[in-house]
């Protein structure tokens, strides 16, 4: 029983390492033009998603139709998560060496 548990834990930790390795491999394959596109498109798409999330959270707290996504007193945590994700993505994109020789 103990051995099974340790194998499961090992597989779980390997899967998270595997995901990070896949992300690194994906960004290593980008050429400079693709890196420029990847710099602008994901933040815009994620901004729309996080805007809707912040707006819906603020509507639930007060009354429907009154959601203000930029009311930082209520939605600060949404924007902190957004900034962390964008920072992580940009760091991964621009921290890779150019594939051009």
Per-residue pLDDT tens over the stretch 29-70: 888 888 888 889 989 999 999 998 888 876 556 555 556 788
Reported pTM: 0.67
Extract the tokens encoding 100: 């051009």
Q: Could you tell me the pLDDT band of residue 84, with boundaries at 50, 70 and 90?
A: very high
Q: Could you tell me the pLDDT band of residue 1, with boundaries at 50, 70 and 90?
A: very low
| Of the candidates 46, 66, 44, 47, the residue with the CA atom closest to the CA atom of residue 57 | 66
Q: Are 74 and 58 in contact (CB under 8 A)?
A: yes
How confident is the model at residue 83, as a pLDDT? 96
Boundaries of every domain in the chain: 2-94
Q: What is the 3-state secondary structure (H, E, C) of 61-72?
A: HCCCCCCCCCCH
Counting residues of the chain whose pLDDT is more than 90, the rounded percentage is 21
How confident is the model at residue 13, as a pLDDT? 53
Q: Is the dihedral of CA 21, 23, 25, 27 positive or negative?
A: negative
How confident is the model at residue 46, as a pLDDT? 95
């Amino acid at each position: 029983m103990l051995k099974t548990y340790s194998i499961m834990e090992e597989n779980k930790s390997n899967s998270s390492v595997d995901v990070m390795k896949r992300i690194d491999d994906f960004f290593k394959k980008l050429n400079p033009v693709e890196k420029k596109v990847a710099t602008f498109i994901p933040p815009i798409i994620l901004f729309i998603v996080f805007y809707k999330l912040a707006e819906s959270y603020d509507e639930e707290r007060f009354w429907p139709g009154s959601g203000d996504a930029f009311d930082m007193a209520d939605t600060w945590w949404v924007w902190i998560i957004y900034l962390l994700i964008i920072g992580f993505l940009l760091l991964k994109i621009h921290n890779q060496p150019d594939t051009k020789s």
